[in-house]
Amino acid sequence: MSALWVAQLLVGIPVLAAVVTLALRRTPALAALVATGASLLSVVVAVVGMAVAPVRGENLVLLRQPLRVGAIEMPFELWSGPATAAVAAVVGLVAAAVLVFTRWYLADDDRLAQFAATVSLFTAAMMLVVHARDLVLTLVGWEVMGWCSYLLIGHWSRKESARRAAYKAFLVTRVADIGFVLGVVGLSAGAGSTGLDRVVAFWSHTGGGCVDTVTQTAACVAPPEPWLRSLLLSLLVIGVLGKSAQFPFQDWLPDAMEGPTPASALIHAATMVAAGTVVLAQLFEVLVLADGARWLLGLSTAATMVGAAVLALGQSDLKRLLAWSTVSQVAIMLSALATATAEIGPDPALFHLWSHAIFKSLLFLTIGWLSVVAGSTLARALRGSVAVHQLARVAWLFGLLALAGAPFVVGGLSKEHVISTAYEGAIGAGGPGVIVLAALLVTVVLTAAYATRAWLVVTASVPETESAHDHARMPSAPVLAALALLTVLSVVGGLVLLTGLFDIHGTSLWWMVLTVLLIVIGGGITWLARGNEDPRDSFVRTPRQRALADGGLGFDTAYRRGVAEPVLGLARVVAFLDREVVDGYVRGAAASAGIAGWLTERGHRREAASGGVALVALGLLVAAGTAVLAWR
Amino acid sequence: MLLVPGAVGLWLVTGGRALPASTARTVALVAAGVGGLAAITATVMRPVVDRAWIPDLGVRWHFEVDGVSAPLVVLTAVIGVLVVAHAWVERPWADAPGSGSAATYLGCLLLVVAGAFAAFAARDAVLFFLAFEVVLLPMWVLIGRYGDPHSARARADASARFILYTAVGSTLMLVGILLLVTRAGTADLGELPAAAATLGTGEQALVALLLTIGLAVKVPVFPLHTWLPAAHTTAPTAGSVLLAAVLLKLGTYGLVRLPLANVPDGFSRIAPVLAIAGVIGILWGGLICLVERDLKRLIAFSSVAHMGFVVLGLASGTETGVQAALIGNIAHGVISALLFVIVGGLKHRWGSVDLAVVRPALREVSPRLGFALILGLAAGLGLPGLAGFWGELVALLAAWNPAQHTGILRTCAVIAAVGAALAAAYSLRVARIVWVGERVADDAREAAVAQTPDARSVELGVMALLGAAVVVIGVAPWVVFSVTADAVTALVGGGR
């Protein structure tokens, strides 16, 4: 099986699974089983894909007659490379774990089949983005993911909060996608093709050293203007910021916690929010030349990673804490792209995507389990819930260790690489390296602090009377197996570096020592702040502070006041104008025709009596006037 | 060949008026089916009918299907069968007593379809105009006689507005056509581009202006759109579907066929104005959809927005742009047909489609109707994998690299992209109000289901077919692109 076949299968299997699952919606249990089976098959294919992944540098292109739309060429190619294969494998793995978990978690839900079908379609869309070698295919996967996230977040559509969250998530990302679409349009229109290879060749061409292949002759004639490249990449970055919930679009993600927990696991771990990293990694050769876009990305991610980590500290709902931690972690991934130099390449970011997918899905599925036990995701309710099962304790512990970036576990390794990338970027090249590095180091402290807090909350000892955990149903064996597998991977997942799929340079021991120190400081702060009371109050003490933290610093209000209300106001004005002004001309024309008709009718009626005489007189006058004029 | 529906329609309107409804329906369905099959055969075989007709003017009875018109002919064939079949679901002649017989209603539907066939197949400018006009009268009858049974005044207003608006547009177009034909000395669309190339720039611009304004009424382009919401709101469901899927297409098809192909230099002079009007239409329609309360009007305004993308593609004046316009045309045809079938069905069930009235959510009560609605809305907001996406994306691509006026058209592309976000906002607004909602308690379920019975049999079939078309065009756009490609190359290249 060649890598190309793997790519096609990985996109095709989930699409097929989605259709079949939807067709079987009358029998939800069977439908979910089909979806799960297909996802497990995808995992197998993806693992094979990792084995047969082409060696670095080898170019693998599907030759097919490209679709020509006028002057634009659309090759619609899929492609697979080493890092791509690894990312695809982790996407498949997380999707399978999510589906396995869903079968248990939503067993009583009457829309289980629809949910499973949407998850399959979502996975297919992400696989498409990962494997696309064509910007239009990327855009297709990108938008389909947005739509699936709308359906998944709004799955419990009988709840007003879920409906609102779904609407908000889709709108915020769609507004940011204005930039993404324009970026794609501008890049492909410039290159005359939507194929990634030609786009990259055209836009990364800096003027010197013409390459004599047929596709690049255009680039030789006119090297693209740097400002246009920066502008287009910045537009693309805006779209990525929206989808990845980065500042200033960050507020949709915590609200998206209204969706069922498996959906959150999927959205956060391996698909939607991470997709931006994949897209920018594909365009890395252009991005590295576009300084404006790199500054935009760097500043936004630096602000986001610190801000989100601070908010995570203050959440009273552990699921929202995880959501903010996702925002912060995705900022870390993207910052690696903003700071990496051309020699380092995009792989540190992709490696962090890989490790984040593993530990974040583990954390989400574990909290899904615990919330079934505790009946809520509020920190207050979850106190001590980890006592339900030894696996829950171990899973939560290693998930948090990876999140905090403890050395040698998967999250630690990847974070080290991001930090050293930022350092290289800061000393080596221009761009936002210094700011990002500072933000990264602060974030390490904060991450350790909120991870410690999350640990203290669920392991707090609870008086026996409050504990009603015994009656909750236990997860099925496959769920436990999936959690165990994810836990193991969170510990040893870093071994993927040995396979050489990610092209990553070593990092210095000193960075490791420094981050350990920072993690200890962060954990220590939480430990000290814990005091004697219960740990959920460690950082947020007054109700006002809590409201501010849970509300994400009031960004929701800002969106409403700053965007939604002005647009609606404008819409009312336009509706008024349409009714009274534009249509007014039409009615005016009708009315004037009516008046003219009425006048004519009057004129005709008069004609019988005195009107005739008047007309004759008028005629005489006109004749006389003409005669006088003609005489001269 | 293409005239079966025409002849049967004419007979139904005149001689067969007294036929009972059931017979008339069967006859009409057979006629629509035969006409549709003949049309589809014609798109495959590409026969040519060419006879002298009015030799003094050089007008010929010349029909031929080429790549540009083939998808539209197929669309019309399918829609024709569907609207007649829809008469089993909704019976406008029975809902509004005194409106007229079933046979007249069906005859009018067939006449519209026949006229559209003729217009799409005409290879003669004057013939095109005549076919274009044939469509208007039966449509007027459909709106005025069989429209919304709740308000006679609205019917009169909408039908009068429709006929007067389009008649004014047609007059301008006729002047343009006559000017073009007399100056160029031929009415044959195949020879016109070469013949018209001898015209001076001033004349070209004048002809292009007249033709474009005349056709823009039909498209409709902002600010000539105010007939559309009224007509859509009052027309019976089948009428709305025909309006959206066939009549509006005549406008854009005419724009491709007449000004763009024959007087490209003149057309490119007014292209920036057209592009600006198009994007204003996108924003204008999108914004109104955010606050509009009547669902049918909302869909009509969304049509204005979608046609804005088509016009933007045309205004770019490139091959890519014309391709975008053609696929956008087809896509809008199936999407809005689907939406109007659903919304018309809802109006039929509920009496009105005021969004301010709280009703049980479709997802809870009638899942099939709800699924069709969300599919239509998703396609309307330009979701990839569904039909609407390709027209919008390629139109933006074309506007980014236009033939002329790069600055203006790029600005227009940016604004149009903003309009696409508005489409998401209003589509999901509708979804949030109509599709999703609170759980319906078990004791109230029966009443709710009685109020909104789910789609079945013919209605379900119509929706399924349209939904399938939306998905097929979305997943495999080359179905349309490959058919139109060569003809578009000839068309855009021919005039230069």
Q: Which of A11-15, B135-139, B148-152 has the lowest mean pLDDT?
A: B148-152
Partner A contacted by B373 (CB < 8 A): no
Which residue in this structure is represented by tokens 């009918």? Answer: B49
Q: Do B226 and A578 touch (CB under 8 A)?
A: yes
Q: Which of A105-109, A219-223, A542-546, B350-354 has the lowest mean pLDDT?
A: A219-223
Q: Which of A207-216, A230-239, A524-533 has the lowest mean pLDDT?
A: A207-216
Q: Do A147 and B320 touch (CB under 8 A)?
A: no
Chain B residues closer than 8 Å to A188 by CB: 397
Are A34 and B362 in contact by the 8 Å Cβ rule? The answer is: no
**Which amino acid is it at A175?**
V
Query: What does the pLDDT look like over A593-614, one tens digit per residue?
Result: 788 888 887 777 655 555 556 6
Interface of A with B (CB under 8 A): 67-72, 136, 139-140, 143-144, 147, 150, 154, 157-158, 160, 163, 167, 170-171, 174-175, 177-178, 181-182, 185-186, 188-189, 567-568, 570-572, 574-575, 578, 582-583, 586, 590
Q: Between the ranges A419-423, A509-513, B78-82, where is the mean pLDDT highest?
A: B78-82
Report the DSSP pairing between strands B59-64 and B48-54: antiparallel
Question: What gap in Å lies between CA A366 and CA A380, rounded to an integer?
Answer: 17
Q: In chain B, count H helices and then E strands.
A: 23, 2
The conformation of residue A316, written as its DSSP 8-state character, comes to S
Query: What does the pLDDT look like over B242-257, one tens digit per residue?
Result: 888 888 888 888 888 8
pLDDT confidence tier of residue A215, bands split at 50, 70 and 90 = very low
Q: What is the mean pLDDT of residues A178-207?
A: 81
Identify the pLDDT of residue B14.
60
Q: How far is B140 from chain A, CA to nearest CA, in Å?
A: 18
Are A85 and A53 in contact by the 8 Å Cβ rule? The answer is: yes
Q: Do A185 and B288 touch (CB under 8 A)?
A: no
Are A97 and A361 in contact by the 8 Å Cβ rule? The answer is: yes
**Which amino acid is it at B462?**
V
Sign of CA dihedral B348, B354, B356, B362: positive
Q: Do B291 and A578 touch (CB under 8 A)?
A: no
Write phi, then psi, for B477 (nearest 5 degrees). -65, -20
Are A88 and A46 in contact by the 8 Å Cβ rule? The answer is: yes
Q: Do A144 and B383 touch (CB under 8 A)?
A: yes
Which of A68, A170, A181 is the closest to B485 by Cβ?
A68
Identify the pLDDT of residue A219.
43
Partner A contacted by B389 (CB < 8 A): yes
Identify the pLDDT of residue A216.
44
Which of A67, A150, A182 is the closest to B414 by Cβ?
A182
Identify the pLDDT of residue A540.
65
What's the Cα-to-Cα distance from B2 to each of A24, A294, B42, B343, rounded to whole Å? 42, 60, 9, 31
Chain B residues closer than 8 Å to A578 by CB: 226, 284, 288
Q: Do B291 and A568 touch (CB under 8 A)?
A: yes
Q: Which two tokens stand for residue A331?
A: 């900022």
Q: How far is B361 from chain A, CA to nearest CA, in Å?
A: 9
Identify the pLDDT of residue B95.
67
Identify the pLDDT of residue B457.
75
- Greatest distance between any 2 Cα atoms in chain A: 122
Are A281 and A418 in contact by the 8 Å Cβ rule? The answer is: no
Chain B residues closer than 8 Å to A224 by CB: none
CB pairs under 8 A between A and B: 129
Partner A contacted by B424 (CB < 8 A): yes
H or E stretch at A69: strand A67-69
Q: Do A143 and B383 touch (CB under 8 A)?
A: yes
At a CB cut-off of 8 Å and minimum separation 6, what does A511 contact?
Answer: A416, A419, A420, A423
pLDDT confidence tier of residue A212, bands split at 50, 70 and 90 = very low
Q: What percent of chain B has pLDDT over 90?
A: 0
In A533-611, which ranges are continuous DSSP H helix?
Answer: 543-550, 555-559, 565-577, 583-606
Question: What gap in Å lies between CA A409 and CA A60, rounded to an integer?
Answer: 33
The conformation of residue B86, written as its DSSP 8-state character, comes to G
DSSP codes, A383-420: TTGGGG-HHHHHHHHHHHHHHHT-TTSHHHHHHHHHHH
pLDDT confidence tier of residue A465, bands split at 50, 70 and 90 = very low
Identify the pLDDT of residue B96.
60
Which of B288, B321, B378 is the closest to A575 by Cβ?
B288
Q: Which two tokens stand for residue A526?
A: 């939480």
Kindly tell me the burial class for residue A142, based on how many C-beta atoms sit within 10 Å of its own C-beta (0-12, 13-18, 19 or more). buried
End-to-end CA distance of chain B: 35
Are A119 and A161 in contact by the 8 Å Cβ rule? The answer is: no
Query: What does the pLDDT look like over B7-64, one tens digit per residue?
Result: 666 666 665 556 666 777 777 777 777 777 777 777 777 777 777 777 766 677 778 7
At a CB cut-off of 8 Å and minimum separation 6, what does B208 contact?
Answer: B176, B259, B263, B266, B267, B269, B270
Q: How far is B495 from chain A, CA to nearest CA, in Å?
A: 16
- For residue A445, pLDDT over 80 is answered with yes
Query: What does the pLDDT look like over A24-76, one tens digit per residue?
Result: 877 878 878 888 888 888 888 878 877 777 665 455 555 456 677 767 777 77
Q: What is the mean pLDDT of residues B98-124?
A: 80
Q: Do A178 and B223 touch (CB under 8 A)?
A: no
Q: Do A147 and B418 touch (CB under 8 A)?
A: no
Question: What gap in Å lies between CA B184 and CA B161, rounded to an integer?
Answer: 34
CB atoms within 10 A of CB B342: 29
The closest of A112, A98, A91 to A479, measured between CA atoms, is A98
Which residue in this structure is represented by tokens 């092209």? Answer: A503
B297 versus A218: the higher-pLDDT residue is: B297
CA-nearest residue to A174 within chain B is B421
Chain A residues closer than 8 Å to B290 by CB: 567-568, 571
Counted residue by residue, chain B has a size of 496
Q: Which of A139-148, A420-429, B98-107 has the lowest mean pLDDT?
A: B98-107
Q: What is the mean pLDDT of residues B137-143?
A: 83
Q: Do B364 and A158 touch (CB under 8 A)?
A: yes
Instruction: Report helix angle A318-339 to A272-282, nearest 10.
Output: 0
Q: What is the mean pLDDT of residues A335-361?
A: 85
Partner A contacted by B117 (CB < 8 A): no
The conformation of residue A562, written as its DSSP 8-state character, comes to I
Chain B residues closer than 8 Å to A177 by CB: 421
Among B164, B226, B282, pick the best mutation site for testing chain A contact (most A Cβ within 10 A): B226
Which of B288, B414, B482 is the closest to A574 by Cβ?
B288
Rounded to two decimals, the ipTM of the complex is: 0.86
Q: What is the mean pLDDT of residues A84-98?
A: 86
Q: Name residue B354's beta-bridge partners.
A: B294
Q: Do B161 and A70 touch (CB under 8 A)?
A: no
Which of B319, B396, B422 is the closest to A185 by Cβ?
B396
Counted residue by residue, chain A has a size of 632
Q: Do A136 and B393 touch (CB under 8 A)?
A: yes
Chain B residues closer than 8 Å to A582 by CB: 222-223, 225-226
Q: Which of helix, strand or coil describes residue B226?
A: coil
Query: What does the pLDDT look like over A354-386, one tens digit per residue?
Result: 888 888 888 888 888 888 877 777 777 777 777
**Which amino acid is it at A170?**
F
Query: What does the pLDDT look like over A235-262, one tens digit per residue?
Result: 889 988 888 888 888 888 888 888 888 8
Question: What gap in Å lies between CA A145 and CA A153, rounded to an integer?
Answer: 12
Which of A181, A568, A586 is the closest to B396 by Cβ?
A181
Question: What gap in Å lies between CA B249 and CA B113, rounded to an integer?
Answer: 12
Residue A79 exposure: Cα atoms within 13 Å on the Cβ side:
25
Are A138 and A181 in contact by the 8 Å Cβ rule? The answer is: no
How far does CA A95 lie from the centroid of its chain? 16
Say if residue B223 is preceded by a cis peptide, omega within 30 of 0: yes
Q: Which of helix, strand or coil describes residue A250?
A: coil
Which of B319, B364, B432 is the closest to A167 by Cβ?
B432
Q: Do A158 and B438 touch (CB under 8 A)?
A: yes
Query: What does the pLDDT look like over B359-398, one tens digit per residue?
Result: 777 777 788 888 888 888 888 888 888 888 888 888 888 8
Q: Do A174 and B397 touch (CB under 8 A)?
A: no
- For residue B355, pLDDT over 80 is answered with no
Q: Name residue B64's beta-bridge partners.
A: B48
CB atoms within 10 A of CB A291: 18
pLDDT confidence tier of residue A220, bands split at 50, 70 and 90 = very low
Q: Do B481 and A69 touch (CB under 8 A)?
A: yes
Q: What is the mean pLDDT of chain A?
A: 79
Q: Between the ranges A197-201, A340-344, B100-104, B393-397, where is the mean pLDDT highest?
A: B393-397
